[in-house]
Amino acid sequence: MDRIPILKMGDFLLVTIQVDLYDQLAETLESDLVQMVRKYNSKGVLIDISAVSIIDSFMGRILGNISTMSKIMDAETVVVGMQPAVAITLVELGLPLKGIHCALNVERGMELLRSKITLDIQDDDDYDDSDTE
Amino acid sequence: MKNEAVKIIKAKKKYILEQWFQNQLENDGLREDLITNEDQRIQSEELINSFAASISDTNFDNFQSRDFEKIEDILSGVAISRAKRGFTPRETGAYVLSLKMALLKTLSEEIKDPVVLYTESMRINSLLDNFSMITFETFIKGREDVILRQTDEITEISTPVIKVWDGILALPIIGTLDSSRTQIVMENLLQEIVETGSSIAILDISGVPAIDTLVAQHLIKTVSATRLMGAECIISGIRPEIAQTVVHLGIDLSDVITKATLASALKTAFGMIELEVRKKATSKVL
């Protein structure tokens, strides 16, 4: 059965979707991804959808699910490389993907993830400081 | 029965033209800035000639007769060209009605019997009234064409996406936002974001005359789409009246960064991409 490869890059997981997703594939990806997050204790998930030309409401929900699941497992999700037409379609469908971070390309996405994670660490430090004071 | 008026019109063509032209010159409706006397004369002469040529005993009472097609064509041409040149309806109407005056005057000079004069005048009247109606119809049609063309032009003026800084795009929206326009605006903006790799888009709505729930929804859609592309969107140019309307309508813009002026939006954008604008340190000694 087809699978979408999930690559580990340090603290992050990188998923590049090079084919048009069908429902079964997306569901497999969802479960694979949470398994991987747990396995590697990843801090961030980067999903590249630059090659995806169709996203329907189901796919939108799967992306939302992945984001929420990762969030409760303490990993940030960034979706990168959405095509303009896809963005417009999603908005017209009434799915603005609230709660998902987006970036223009993989490079920007990585930057965003790093900044989010350093922010978290800083926040933790702040808490530590307040505790000691 | 040979028709008196037809005979007179055919015989007195030149005289009627002179009369008509005289009427036109006296009329306030003569617009030398829009059409030269010479052109107007040629136009009038052509009309009179074909009028005299096509009119006959049989079709005199029947303005729908095919004989008048040529006149209708000429009148339509005149009306459309006048509509395009910016004549007022009154001026265009006066053009045909002054011909009626000339015809009636000629008839009254030629026909001595009051009863005949009356009947002939009535017939000329109704014929010429129909001509002026045709003129008017085509005049309005010509105007509508002008309006349609202008509407098309306005839609074609695509909203420009301006790159104001590295990574900052500005999008001044002028005029009302409807769904088809939002679509174009959104497509342009997203395409430009991809091409320039910008991370901030400023949507300036100072040129939007009024905002209602639909326009606001369109704006929010554009903002959401920009976010999906990984860019942040700032709405600027919110005038006091617009702020009032937004609140009264209960539109929730709390998810969107809004600024009163483009300048403050730009300042915020600079802050977001960690740039600072400073006054140049001058070595001038006071």
pLDDT at B28: 61
Contact assignment for A104 to B225 by CB distance below 8 Å:
no
Question: What pLDDT is attached to residue B20?
Answer: 79
Residue A1 lies in a domain: no
What is the CATH number for A74? 3.30.750.24
Chain B environment of A105 (Cβ under 8 Å): 197, 230
Q: What is the pTM of this model?
A: 0.62
Please name the residue of chain A whose CA is at the shortest distance from the CA of residue B188: A84
pLDDT higher than threshold 60 for residue B84: yes
For residue B227, what is the nearest residue in chain A, using CA coordinates?
A102
Percent of chain B with pLDDT over 90: 10
**Cβ contact A104–B197 (<8 Å):** yes
Closest CA to A15 of A41, A58, A50, A45: A45
Distances (CA, A) of B8 to B3, B19, B65: 9, 14, 20
By residue range, what is the domain housing residue A37?
A: 6-132
**Nearest CA-CA distance, residue B167 and chain A, Å:** 12
Q: Do B231 and A104 touch (CB under 8 A)?
A: yes
Domains in chain A, number: 1
Confidence at residue B280, expressed as pLDDT on a 0 to 100 scale = 86
Is residue A39 over pLDDT 60? Answer: yes
Contacts of B224 in chain A (CB under 8 A): 91, 96
Q: What is the pLDDT of residues A99-111, one digit of tens each?
A: 788 999 898 899 8
Residue A75 lies in a domain: yes
Structure confidence by residue, pLDDT tens digits, B151-201: 888 776 767 888 999 989 999 988 877 777 888 888 888 999 999 989 999
Could you report the per-residue pLDDT of A51-107, keeping only the tens digit for each?
888 888 888 888 888 888 888 888 889 999 999 988 888 888 888 787 788 999 898
Query: Within a domain: residue A46?
Result: yes
**Is the minimum CB–CB distance between B187 and chain A shorter than 8 Å?**
yes
Which of B144, B221, B72, B147 minimizes the C-alpha distance to A87?
A: B221
Residue, of B267 and B74, whose pLDDT is higher: B267
Q: Going from the N-terminus, what domains does chain B have, and what CATH number goes with each? A: 4-153 (1.10.490.10), 162-272 (3.30.750.24)
